[in-house]
Each structure stands twice: as structure tokens, then as C-alpha cells.
Structure 1
Amino acid sequence: MAVTIIDVAREANVSPSTVSRVIADSPRISEQTKRRVREVMNQLGYYPNFQARNLAAKTTQTIGVIMSDSTSLAFQNPFFPEVIRGICVSAHASKYGIYFSTGGTEEEIFQEVVSMVQGKKVDGIILLYSRVGDRTMKYLKDENFPFTMVGRPYQYEDEISYIDNDNERITHEVVEYLYNLGHRKIAFIGGNLDFVVSIDRLNGYQKALEKLGLSYSEDYFIRNDVIKTNGMKAVHQLMELNEPPTAIVAHDDLVAYEVIRYLEGLSVQVPGDVSIIGFNNHALSAYVKPPLTSVDISIVELGLEATNLLLEKIQDSEAAVEHYFVPTKIIERESCKRITTKKKRE
């Protein structure tokens, strides 16, 4: 027969309500009583029914985590395990569980979020992306349901709590870094412009070129859909230009790995013929050939701080809207080199 709260109360010589308060870690119960009751719980093998307790308290002690793609596809990107690691650290510290979305399309993800909200399956939600015109984000905002975002919202920025990197600024710094290495012909590859992170990085690239007196050329920009569907041909055309780039900014490390593979197939050396830099600083970036220079965007911290913001909103529905950027840093490795401009003979 299963051990009940009454059995624990009888053995500990306290009332069942006292046992319940010990389980809830109530400050009204002395530490001495808590220790005695917990010892009895361990001796008898009693495990509190947190699900029933949460139902009574109208809480699930669970947060929903929504990715931009199906779970199986998302986990192919090293970004997601890292950001989820940060979420888990914060959630575990506050005794919260995690409910992952499993939808495979935008519509399926939207319907799953509606089910989470209407079915009261979670206390709050973290969106691990920011998409242009995202109906899921608008639904959560309109429902006044607790949620936070990893990424700057495309709309309603002053009404939504979020954590992000200053993607425009750091991309500006990346271009300046390459410029200071002597590069003047700098290309930009990848980035789905349905997502705000891609828009911000492209804007940072373009503004940096303008500031440095370099002209922007569409020939130096390969879009995400092109690199995915016909990457080898696109990179080949890029390197066959009359003035091919001497440096490439890749939207993230995964794109950089892919581009390096294409360049290798074209017998173009990195960094001998062209330098390349990515974003995210995945663990693999130190071990690819050549080791990739990349921007560390503090992925774990993104997840941790987004969860902290969400828990504040869950605990206080009147909590102020907050948003801030976590630190970023260029990690120099071997995929970028300094070049010198040959002086013309007089």
C-alpha cells in the first residue's frame, strides 16, 4: 500500500497540515520540525504528489520552450542544445519542468502553443526565435500570457520582455575587424531574412561598409535560400567575380563550415585566398580545418536570462517589461589573416 501524508504525520507526531507545509517549505515551520518530517518521509519512502499540489495551487511548475522549427530539425543546430542548457539551469533552480514544442510547421507550432495556453499546460513560454510577422508571438501578447523571447521582437519591442545580442553592433565590429586586417572586399553569406537576427546582422554589415567608405554590392551577398539549395554554384560564382572577396562574413558557424567545404572543393584556400568569420562560436569551431574565427554570443546566458525574466513575469503579472543584450566577443583563430595592399610602382 502506498505511503500517505497521514502515515508521515503519524510517524513524525505532527498534523497532516504540518507535513503539507514542510513539503511546501513554509517559513511558518521551524527548521527542526522540517528536518524531522523529511527524515520520516525518507524512512517511509514517501514522495509528494506535486501534480495534485500544483493543480490545487493553479500552477503547473512547467514552462514551455518553443523552437522555430520541429524539434528534430532544431537539435541539428548546436545553438539549441546550448541555449536549452541555460534554460535548464534557471528552471531547475526554481523547481520548474520544461515542455518542448514538437510541431513541425509554423501552423503546428502555433496550434500547440494555443493548446498549451488554453489547456493550462504551462505557466509561461519562452520563444527561442523572433520571426517577422509571427502569429504565435502576437497570440501570446494578445492573450496577456507570460512569455519571453530570445531575440529582439520585430514588433511591439517596448511591450515584450526579451534577451538578445546587439546583432547590428557586433556585425559592425566584425566588418571593422576584417577591415583592420586589410580587407576591402568583404562578402556576407546566409541568414534567413524571415528572422530578426538575420535582418539585424545584415543591417550591421551594410552600415559598417558605409561607415568605412566601402560600397555595398548585391554580388557580395548570398541569401540563405540560395546557399541551402545551390550553395556550391553560388560560392563558385562569388569567387569567379572580377574582384572576388578577400573575406567572408558567414551568418553563423554552420554556414561558415558549409562555405569552407565549398571553397575546398574549388581549391580556394582559407585563409590563404579568403578569410572567413562566423557567429555563435560552437564547440566544433575550434576543431574544424582551419579553426574558425567566430563571435561568441554567450548562448547559455541567453537561455538562462530569458528564463529568469519569464519566472519574474510568472510570479508577478505586473512585472515591468525588460530587455537587454548579453555580451559578445570575437574569438580569433586561424580562418582570418592580415593582407597587405601592394603599392603601385612609380
Structure 2
Amino acid sequence: MAITIKDVAKEANVSPSTVSRVIANNPRISEDTKKRVREAMDKLGYHPNFQARSLAVKSTETIGIVMPFSASQVLQDPFFPEVIRGISCKAREHRYGMYLSTGGTEEEILEEVIGMVQGKRVDGLILLYSRTDDRLIKYLLDVDFPFTVIGRPVVGAERVTHVDNDNIYITKVVTDYLIQLGHKRIAFVGVNTDFVFTIDRVEGYKQALNEAGIPFNEDYIIHRSRLQEGKAAIKDFLSTVKPPTALVCADDFLAIELISYLEELQVHVPEEVSIVSFNNVLLAEHSKPPLTSVDIDIFQLGLEGANCLIEKIKNPNVLPKRITIPAKMIERKSCARI
């Protein structure tokens, strides 16, 4: 015989409506009462039917997380598990579940999101990226569906709540750091012009060069597509007439891969090439040499993104906002004075 709310209410000596409010985590219910009801639920083995409750209250109590590529590809990058951990922490606090996108292409992702919205599978969405030409953001603005973005939107930024670092400023800081070490031939490695954060970082890199009176050299911009050739591409790049003495890498994952290639090519870091990168994932500290990296506080990006979305879900009239998460450079041993 199935256990019902009435059974739980009787065990906890409260009304059935109080049990319903505890399940909904109503702030008006005291912590003592919540504890008593939850203990009764555990004792009786009662599990709320959230699907039925969703139909009743017109809420799924689920957050959709939209990734830039398929989950199998994205989750290989340490950035994404950490930002999802931040989202999960805030979602759990508010008793929300999570729904991860699985689309592999822009078209598939857009179709999947339209399905989530029209099928009422989620209450709101968190986009873990911002593209330079983003049809997804345009669609969500048009249908007025709750969402937040981890990153700086290009389209309608003043109407979109987003959480980001100041990528222009922090990239200027790390490029200045290399310049102060005597480097003038500095390359930016891993440019992907599909994503706004990369464009912002290249802008910060250019500003630092300009203020130091160092001419910008287009040959020192290396796109991710070129790096697909692996070691051959790096060898070709370093054999140019004036190879760079320092590299600003788009992320730690790429930087560590580069260090491995350079070691095979008998190019020593930092003696011959200095490297600084972004994200400060655990691997950065344990690479050889330990990697100088920008800590962008990935966990906090996810936490604040989820917090903004849940606020928007609960109060649709809340004004859009931009939250800037501070970033700082963690100096280790991958950079040397020239």
C-alpha cells in the first residue's frame, strides 16, 4: 500500500497542508517542523511525486543547463564540471533539479532548447557560454523565458542577466606581466572567434601591447582550428623568423597540452618560452613546470548564475543585472624574465 501525505502528516502530528509546504521548502514553516516532517518521510519511506506536483503548481523545479557542445565533449574540459558544481550547490539549496543539454551542434542545441521551453521541461535556463552570433539568446528574449548567461552577451546585453569576469582587464594584466619580464614577442594562443570571452581577452592583450608601444602582429594570433594539427602546428609556428618568447593561452587545458608538445620538441618552459593561461584548474598547479594561471573563480560563476536564475524564476519582474566575478593571476613557475 502506497504511503501518502496523510500518513506522513499523522506520523509528524501536523496537517497534510503543512507536509505539502515542507516539500515545497516554504520559508514560513519553522526548521523544527521541517525536520520533524522530513524524519517522518524517511521513517515511512515516502517519496514526493514531483511530476504531479509540477502539474499542480505549474513548475518543474528544474533548471536547464545549456552547454556549447555535446556533454561528452564538454565534460572533458575541467571548466565545465566546476561551473556545474557551483550551479548544483545553489540549485540544491533551493531544491531544484538540473537538466543538461546534449546537442552537439548549434542547430541541435537550439532545437533542444526550443523543446525544453515549449515542452515546459524546465523553469529557466543557464547558458554556459555566449556566442558572437547567438540565435539562442535572441529566441529566449523573444519568448520571454527566464535565463541567465555565464559570459557577456553580444545581443541585448542590457536586457540579459549575465555573470562574467572582466576578461579585457585581466588579460591586459597578464600581458603586462609578461611585458614587465622583458617579453616583446608575445603570442595569443587558442583564439576562437565564435565565443565572446575570447574576443574580450584578445582585446585586453592588444591594449597591453599598445600601451607598451609594442606593435600588434597578426601572425602572433593562433586560432584553435590551427592547433588541431597538434605538434606539427606548434613546430611550424615556432620555426618562424621571429618566434614568440611568451604565450598567453586561452585556458589551462590547452597550455598543459602545449607544454607537452614543447617538451617533445626540446623547447624548454620557461627558459625559452614563458606561458600564462586561464582558469587555474587543479592540473595547472601540478603541471611541469607549475603553470601561471588566472583564477576566474569558476565555482562562483556557476553559483551566481544559478542564484540569478532562481531569483528571476521566482520574481519575473526583477531587473536584468551584470555580476562581475573578480579574477586574479596566480604566479607560479611557467614564466621567466627574458
Aligned pairs for 1:229-268 within 5 A: 230-268=229-267
1:297-332 CA-to-partner distances (Å, cap 9, x unmatched) read: 100000000111101110111101001210111111
AA in 2 matched with 1:8: V
Q: Is the 8 A contact 2:151 2:197 kept in 1?
A: yes
AA in 2 matched with 1:305: E
> 1:188 Cα deviation (Å)?
1.1
Structure 2 partner of 1:316: 315
AA in 2 matched with 1:311: I
Structure 1 partner of 2:79: 79
Question: C-alpha separation between the residues in 2 aligned to 1:31 and 1:199?
Answer: 48
Question: C-alpha separation between the residues in 2 aligned to 1:40 and 1:278?
Answer: 52
Q: Sort the Cα spacing of 1:317 and 1:289 in 2 relative to 1 into closer, same or farther, 3 A.
A: same
Structure 1 partner of 2:294: 295
Structure 1 partner of 2:274: 275
Aligned pairs for 1:15-164 within 5 A: 15-26=15-26, 37-164=37-164
AA in 1 matched with 2:87: I
Structure 1 partner of 2:304: 305
Question: C-alpha separation between the residues in 2 aligned to 1:128 and 1:116?
Answer: 16
Q: Match of 1:190, SS? A: strand
> 1:286 Cα deviation (Å)?
1.1
Q: Match of 1:155, SS? A: coil
Question: C-alpha separation between the residues in 1 aligned to 2:93 and 2:191?
Answer: 35
Q: Match of 2:320, SS? A: coil
Structure 1 partner of 2:324: 325
Q: Is the 8 A contact 2:137 2:155 kept in 1?
A: no
Q: Sort the Cα spacing of 1:48 and 1:175 in 2 relative to 1 into closer, same or farther, 3 A.
A: same
Q: Is the 8 A contact 1:248 1:275 kept in 2?
A: yes
Structure 1 partner of 2:216: 216
AA in 2 matched with 1:215: P
> 1:234 Cα deviation (Å)?
3.0
Question: C-alpha separation between the residues in 2 aligned to 1:190 and 1:164?
Answer: 19
Q: Sort the Cα spacing of 1:39 and 1:310 in 2 relative to 1 into closer, same or farther, 3 A.
A: closer
Structure 2 partner of 1:174: 174
Q: Sort the Cα spacing of 1:97 and 1:21 in 2 relative to 1 into closer, same or farther, 3 A.
A: closer
> 1:220 Cα deviation (Å)?
1.4
Q: Is the 8 A contact 1:140 1:147 kept in 2?
A: yes
Question: C-alpha separation between the residues in 2 aligned to 1:135 and 1:26?
Answer: 37
> 1:102 Cα deviation (Å)?
0.9
Question: C-alpha separation between the residues in 2 aligned to 1:13 and 1:239?
Answer: 75
> 1:16 Cα deviation (Å)?
3.3
Q: Sort the Cα spacing of 1:324 and 1:11 in 2 relative to 1 into closer, same or farther, 3 A.
A: closer
Q: Sort the Cα spacing of 1:11 and 1:293 in 2 relative to 1 into closer, same or farther, 3 A.
A: closer
Question: C-alpha separation between the residues in 1 aligned to 2:142 and 2:84?
Answer: 26
For structure 1, the 5+ residue unaligned runs are 340-346
AA in 1 matched with 2:324: F
Q: Sort the Cα spacing of 1:158 and 1:25 in 2 relative to 1 into closer, same or farther, 3 A.
A: closer
> 1:35 Cα deviation (Å)?
5.8
Q: Is the 8 A contact 2:124 2:309 kept in 1?
A: yes
> 1:149 Cα deviation (Å)?
0.4
1:54-79 CA-to-partner distances (Å, cap 9, x unmatched) read: 22111011000000000000001110
Please identify, of 234-243 and 270-279, the stretch whose mean Cα deviation from structure 2 is larger: 234-243
Q: Sort the Cα spacing of 1:272 and 1:2 in 2 relative to 1 into closer, same or farther, 3 A.
A: same
Structure 2 partner of 1:344: none
AA in 2 matched with 1:275: S
- Larger Rg belongs to: 1
Q: Match of 2:55, SS? A: helix
1:189-214 CA-to-partner distances (Å, cap 9, x unmatched) read: 11211110111111111111111100
- Alpha carbon RMSD of aligned pairs, Å? 1.9
Q: Match of 2:254, SS? A: helix
TM-score in terms of structure 1 length: 0.92
Q: Is the 8 A contact 2:191 2:221 kept in 1?
A: no
Q: Sort the Cα spacing of 1:256 and 1:162 in 2 relative to 1 into closer, same or farther, 3 A.
A: same
% identical aligned pairs: 57
Aligned pairs for 1:4-19 within 5 A: 4-11=4-11, 15-19=15-19
Q: Is the 8 A contact 1:64 1:126 kept in 2?
A: yes
> Number of paired residues?
338
AA in 1 matched with 2:320: V
Q: Sort the Cα spacing of 1:119 and 1:335 in 2 relative to 1 into closer, same or farther, 3 A.
A: same
Question: C-alpha separation between the residues in 2 aligned to 1:322 and 1:219?
Answer: 38
Q: Is the 8 A contact 2:274 2:335 kept in 1?
A: yes
Q: Match of 2:247, SS? A: strand
> 1:243 Cα deviation (Å)?
2.3
TM-score in terms of structure 2 length: 0.94
Q: Sort the Cα spacing of 1:323 and 1:263 in 2 relative to 1 into closer, same or farther, 3 A.
A: same
